[in-house]
Amino acid sequence: MLAFANAWLLLVIVAPLLLRWLGRAYHEPEPFLTVPFLSDLSAITGMKPSTSVAASLASVSQRIVLAIVWCLLVVALGRPQWIQEPLTKTIPGRDLLIAVDLSGSMEAEDFTDAAGNRTDRLTAVKEVMDEFLARRDGDRVGLMFFGTAAFMQVPFTEDLDVCRVLLNEAQVRMAGPQTMLGDAVGKAILVFGNSDVKEKVLIVLTDGNDSGSLVPPVKAAEIARDEGIKIHTIGMGDPTTVGEDKLDVDTLKAMAQTTGGEMFMAIDRQELEGVYNQIDAMTMRQVETLTHRPVKDLYFWPLAIAVVLVVLFHILKLWQTRRARSSAKEARLLQRPGAKEIERRLQQEAKSV
């Protein structure tokens, strides 16, 4: 769509007419100067004087060119622009951080894959979470692994394919054999500290209990609540397990309740899929849409046309002037004594040849 950024400046186009109407020149009806050799000067230049030589009037072509150039300059002054089709950009309104336990107990083979074959817990998590991430269009997602230590595998990004690829490359014990749940939540709080979105969600997936974090998990959850972070916890495996691999259900419930989240149990693959479906329904996508219409300036086109038109007009006038001078020179030669006789002889010689 064509538009003008300074449309009001187009009113300047009538300025020459107003100036001509308001400031008319005063003319005396008597001649100012008599030139006795005016006829010779006219023959040399090829220009014919008008009835009044006090002021030389511009030719019609010059007036037309001047009017066109003035209009082009005024159009350029109005700053014409071509407004292109709107571009829409979707800005995520929520940061979603997924923390996955990679302790040694995640290699227990008590889950099944999509084909129904028995597999370890981490493989089942990868398959189900891959489907979950595929539905997170509109969120910024981060991926964190924890065990003896916690580290960010993928910072917050809208490139969900990267998250899915790096999740698939995760291995049991790559973060250490223990489960430092409280430290993982503390790490997540630091990561969310650089986020300026309104909604911050942390999903913690673990199959054990805290192995001695510097900050107890519940205390870390209280700090997360004060920072506006909601925590959903997912407990994997058999809750009746005892010993070091015992699943601390009470701590996971307390962490979720403290931050206003939910605690889920996933004993098998079907329940794990159901958990992610529930979380997907609870955490609806929050997006903001920005619309921008690119603008392309076109003022240089009328300016370029005006310059080219002026240059071509002066080239044409120069050619006409030179042609007129050449014709006048030939006329003077023909007026010399014997010029016609010489021309007649030349014509006869050309015929004889």
| Span 195-213, pLDDT tens digits | 777 788 899 988 777 888 8
Total-model pTM: 0.58
pLDDT in tens, 10-52: 888 888 888 777 766 555 655 556 667 767 767 766 666 655 4
Q: What is the arithmetic mean of pLDDT over 157-180?
A: 89
Give the CATH number of the domain where residue 230 resides.
Answer: 3.40.50.410
pLDDT in tens, 175-193: 888 889 999 999 999 999 8
Q: Judge whether 161 lies within some domain.
A: yes
Q: Judge whether 352 lies within some domain.
A: no
Whether residues 249 and 156 share a domain: the answer is yes
Whether residues 180 and 106 share a domain: the answer is yes
Give first-to-last CA distance, the chain, whole Å.
70
Whether residues 248 and 140 share a domain: the answer is yes
User: How many structural domains does the chain have?
Assistant: 2
Identify the band that residue 159 occupies on the pLDDT scale cut at 50, 70 and 90: confident
Identify the band that residue 152 occupies on the pLDDT scale cut at 50, 70 and 90: very high
Whether residues 312 and 287 share a domain: the answer is no
Q: What is the arithmetic mean of pLDDT over 223-236?
A: 90
- CA distance linking residue 22 with residue 4, whole number of Å: 29
Q: What is the pLDDT of residue 111?
A: 76
- Expressed as residue numbers, the domain containing 284 is 89-291
Whether residues 54 and 96 share a domain: the answer is no
Q: What is the pLDDT of residue 195?
A: 77
Q: Judge whether 310 lies within some domain.
A: yes
- CA distance linking residue 327 with residue 332, whole number of Å: 9
Q: Judge whether 348 lies within some domain.
A: no
pLDDT at 57 over 60: no
Percent of the chain whose predicted confidence (pLDDT) is above 90: 20
pLDDT at 338 over 90: no
Q: Judge whether 353 lies within some domain.
A: no
The set of residues, in sequence order, having a beta carbon less than 8 Å from that of 263 and lying 6+ positions away, is 232, 233, 234, 235, 249, 252, 253, 255, 256, 257
Whether residues 211 and 131 share a domain: the answer is yes
**Nearest by Cα to 211 from 97, 111, 108, 104:** 104
Whether residues 112 and 199 share a domain: the answer is yes
Whether residues 13 and 97 share a domain: the answer is no
pLDDT in tens, 21-32: 776 655 565 555
Which residues partner with 288 through β-bridges? Answer: 91
